[in-house]
Amino acid sequence: MEYSLLKDTITLLEEFESKNKMYPSNIKGFKSWISDSLQTQSDTNEPDWEGKENDRSPESVISTHLVHLNRYAKSYAKSAIHGSKFSTQEEFIYLINLKAFGAMTKMELIKKNIQDKPTGMLIIKRLIDLGWIKQKDSNLDKRSKIIRITPMGLEALENQMDKIRIATKVVAGDLSHEEKMTLIHLLGKLEHFHNPIFLQNIDSSELLQTVAKNYLPSNN
């Protein structure tokens, strides 16, 4: 029997276990790691970007684009809720999550929307004051409140959904279906990297150093 393939696979597994800091430690994570490694090694045309000739890093460009895209999305969301009782896009995103995932604790909803507790509590309070969500004591933990969307909240959300759907389409711009699928894959990979870090609630004074030391690939 030829064992060279088995030996190569074991070598790859050892490399995966020693270098992996962002993929699940299972066969699915191993396959994704191999796929992404091969894609990185493939001969692709590197795009130009502003400041490249002055050694501006790819990471700087990515961060800038993500910040800009967030601002573009907020401007379209603001247009989508114009003339309604919604004040911010976060309010209808909170309602969408409650409609999609059902009742949950306040902190579960806040974390699902990647926000800090004070900001999330203000949004929840406004939604309660509007009668769009209601709260009750948790049966498991009396210190926690379970919140759910109300019929009024469903109606308010439905009244804006056509505009919200248009806004989401506009954000995707003129990307082809294939480009959208590629972008979903890449953004999902970044989400998979950042979300577990966010959920740890690492203090701001230690966040950058902790992530740089413990989560970034060694070749970065």
| Integer angstrom CA distances of residue 211 from 25, 36, 72, 190, 203 | 19, 21, 28, 13, 11
- Which of helix, strand or coil describes residue 80? helix
Vertex 4: Cα angle to 2 and 7 (nearest 5): 125
pLDDT at position 95: 96
Cα 142 from chain centroid?
30
pLDDT (mean) for 12-20 = 81
pLDDT per position as a tens digit, 123-175: 999 999 999 999 998 777 777 889 999 999 999 999 999 999 999 999 999 99
Q: What is the pLDDT of residues 79-93, one digit of tens each?
A: 999 999 999 999 999
Alpha-carbon distance 178 to 173, whole Å? 13
Nearest CA to 17 out of 4, 3, 5, 29 is that of: 29
Mean pLDDT, rounded, for 114-121? 93
Q: What is the pLDDT of residue 1?
A: 53
- Identify the weakest region by mean pLDDT among 3-17, 71-85, 179-193, 205-219: 3-17
Residue 219's pLDDT band (boundaries 50, 70, 90)?
low
What pTM value is reported for the model? 0.71
Q: What is the pLDDT of residues 36-84, one digit of tens each?
A: 776 655 545 688 889 988 889 999 999 999 999 999 999 999 999 999 9
Q: Tell me the pLDDT band of 2, cut-offs 50, 70 and 90.
A: low
Query: What local confidence, expressed as pLDDT, does residue 41 receive?
Result: 54
Which domains are assigned to the chain?
A: 70-171 (1.10.10.10)
- CA–CA distance, 34 with 31 (Å, rounded to integer): 5
In one-letter notation, the amino acid at residue 161 is M
Q: Strand 133-137 vs strand 104-105: parallel, antiparallel, or unpaired?
A: unpaired
- The pLDDT score that the predictor gives to residue 144 is 82
* CA–CA dist 101, 19 (Å, integer): 35
The tokens for 25 are 């430690």
